[in-house]
């Protein structure tokens, strides 16, 4: 986790933003990364000097899609930079899921 003290003495180096609407996840894992979507971004210089913001949501279904809203679950996704060029949006479930939202990566000097 980044702290404000890591960013002192410098300003914003770069800002990247994008919109995602995924119907199929790019991977399955465990725990926090039960289901995730990987997004290729322009390379950042230092992942520890980046802040990621994601404004969106993900929904999962335990059954085939129907209009019965009781079969759907909502999740607040979390994010991380897997490496210098991959942003990962994650939810803690292995249910069939979709994710929609806007992401922003702000890198500081």
Please give the tally of structural domains in the chain.
Answer: 1
- pLDDT, tens digit (0-9, with 9 covering 90-100), for 39-84: 999 999 999 999 999 998 887 765 544 445 555 677 888 999 999 9
In a domain, 29, yes or no: yes
Tell me which residue has tokens 């290729």.
Answer: 40
Range of 91's domain? 12-108
| Cα 51 from Cα 62, distance rounded (Å) | 33
The DSSP letter of residue 84 is T
Q: What is the pTM of this model?
A: 0.79
CATH of the domain at 52: 2.60.40
Which residues make beta-bridge pairs with 66? none
| Exposure letters 61-70 (e unless 16+ CB within 10 A, then b) | eeeeeeeeee
Token pair listed for 20: 């995602």
| Cα 28 from Cα 92, distance rounded (Å) | 10
In a domain, 5, yes or no: no
- pLDDT, tens digit (0-9, with 9 covering 90-100), for 28-47: 888 888 888 899 999 999 99
In a domain, 4, yes or no: no
In a domain, 34, yes or no: yes
């Amino acid at each position: 986790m980044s702290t404000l003290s890591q960013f002192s003495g410098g300003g914003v180096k770069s800002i990247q933003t994008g919109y995602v609407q995924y119907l199929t996840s790019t991977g399955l894992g465990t725990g926090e990364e039960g289901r995730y979507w990987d997004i290729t971004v322009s390379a950042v210089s230092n992942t520890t000097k980046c802040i990621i913001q994601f404004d969106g949501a993900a929904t999962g279904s335990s059954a085939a899609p129907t209009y019965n809203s009781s079969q759907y679950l909502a999740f607040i996704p979390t994010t991380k930079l897997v490496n210098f060029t991959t942003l990962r949006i994650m939810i803690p479930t292995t249910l069939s899921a979709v994710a929609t939202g806007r992401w922003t990566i702000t890198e500081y000097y």
